[in-house]
Amino acid sequence: MKKLIKNGTVVTASETYEADLLIEDGKIAAIGSNLSANGAETVDAKGCYVFPGGIDPHTHLEMPFGGTVSKDDFESGTIAAAYGGTTTVIDFCLTKKGEPMQSSIDEWHAKSKDKAVIDYGFHLMIGEINDDVLQEIPRVISDEGITSFKVFMAYKNVFQADDETLFRTLVTAKELGGLVMVHAENGDVIDYLTKQAIEKGQTDPIYHALTRPPEVEGEATGRAAQLTGLADSQLYVVHVSCSDAVEKIAEARRKGFDVWGETCPQYLVLDQTALEKPNFEGAKYVWSPPLREKHHQDVLWNALKNGDLQTLGSDQCSFDFKGQKELGRGDFTKIPNGGPIIEDRVSILYSEGVTKGRISLNQFVDITSTRIAKLFGLYPQKGTVAIGADADLVLFDPTVERTISADTHHMAVDYNAFEGMKVTGEAVSVLSRGEFVIRDKQFVGSPGTGKYVKRAKYGQTLTANADEVISK
Ligand code: URP
Ligand code: ZN
Ligand code: ZN
């Protein structure tokens, strides 16, 4: 059914203007003043911004990790994402050494099928490079539309890849049109520091942060950036948490290297003292890289403002406190790493960023949606408000004041990392390809309506492949 969104203020990465939008067949069909259309349902967006739907480039839904599985799956995770104003997620598909990558991709399709309420895609982990892997990558790009590849420089003996793997992935990505993503921490040094801490009986959650200092993130970020320059390739550094890493990204960009950086809300508003909470509550804030001393926050905000960092991911990887985080009582190395962030990503950036004058409204749209669409082969089908684009839209009331809490959130876990935080602004209604998923703050979608999206190669647009949004 056609829809007319009337009286809203449309915001893109470059413009803010009053306009009506006509939605037809899931796409934006017209943008203008006083639009009318026979048979269209009228939606009043008075007082609301109309943003392109948020794109979360970094989620781990139902992911096996640390002897357990992250609690939010493709159903609860995408419902929570939609409540927060996100209409597309790109999840990390983990591979296993010695096994065909396609079997991991099939596993990820199986767990997302019939569950997602918004559109989604996958990044693929590269844990090793050998002839089998090199043979599979071109088909993964062409058939699966997976065009971004993740290399872990940390989690020794679990996910960590060596520098040869990273370098050869960069070379291959350059040849084939992929974007290499890195978890940049020096896993070998962390392994040594961790063993030393445990030997000394330093087992509380705070030692998770103290054994992964900013220097190990800065070192790995600089190494990955240098290797990218050498390979003349392209790199996206996920979850940047500290000034040490920001400096390395900024330096690489000054040299003309094609290096991009993502931060996450948790690093912008929380700090290392959270890991010192009594009664093991610090475990709720154990993720990697860890929360940092407060002075790093200003550096991250400035980097978002001046463009040294370009995107915001959630790094959603949620575990209950009871029964999951508790696995690490008496040994911080056994606390599953990750937090519930997917729902509050957009809200926190708006409230702390736009309303506090740290970034502009248009930068906010760029950081939460447009730039991510461009980097990950979704633009201009997603990530903007334009004729022909998917009608993935958020009607956002910038005046609402509310308090974040596990009592009211929609994630499946028993705590919220931002509990008690007051924020201004809220997604009131959210549409995915023209259909309401959230309407007047109520979930009205249904599992399985979210579609798997095949993405374009790095640097290419998705327009030519507009019909290739497929259901898997
Ligand atoms: O602690 C985190 N970030 N867990 C998820 C996996 C990762 O490193 O991104
Ligand atoms: Zn990571
Ligand atoms: Zn992650």
Q: Check if the beta carbon of residue 392 is closer than 8 Å to that of residue 353.
A: no
Distance CA 149, CA 180 (A): 5
**DSSP three-state, residue 117:** coil
Average pLDDT, the chain: 97
- The pLDDT, as a whole number, for residue 99 is 96
In the predicted structure, residue 5 carries a pLDDT above the cut 90? yes
In the predicted structure, residue 464 carries a pLDDT above the cut 80? no
- Name the strand (E) or helix (H) holding 437: strand 435-439
Best substitution site from 186, 318, 337 to test ligand 1's pocket, by max atoms within 8 Å of Cβ? 337
- The pLDDT, as a whole number, for residue 469 is 37
Q: Mean of the pLDDT values across residues 261-277? A: 98
- The pLDDT, as a whole number, for residue 114 is 97
Shortest-distance atom of ligand 1 to CA 183:
8
**C-beta 183 within 6 A of ligand 1:** yes
Q: Mean of the pLDDT values across residues 229-247? A: 98
- The pLDDT, as a whole number, for residue 1 is 84
**C-beta 338 within 6 A of ligand 1:** yes
**C-beta 148 within 6 A of ligand 1:** no
**C-beta 76 within 6 A of ligand 1:** no
**C-beta 160 within 6 A of ligand 1:** no
- The pLDDT, as a whole number, for residue 182 is 99
Query: Rounded to 5 degrees, what angle do the CA atoms 205, 207, 208 make?
Result: 70
- List all residues 6 or more positions away from 32 whose beta carbon is below 8 Å from its beta carbon: 19, 20
Distances (CA, A) of 183 to 112, 130, 331: 24, 21, 23
In the predicted structure, residue 466 carries a pLDDT above the cut 90? no
User: How much is the pTM?
Assistant: 0.97
Helix crossing, 101-112 with 131-144: angle to 10°? 40
Q: 389-415 pLDDT, tens per residue?
A: 999 999 999 999 999 999 999 999 999
Shortest-distance atom of ligand 1 to CA 159:
8
Closest CA to 84 of 93, 76, 92: 76
As a residue count, the chain comes to 472
At residue 345, what are phi and psi to the nearest 5 degrees? Answer: -55, -55
- The pLDDT, as a whole number, for residue 470 is 28
What are the DSSP E strand ranges found in 283-378? 311-312
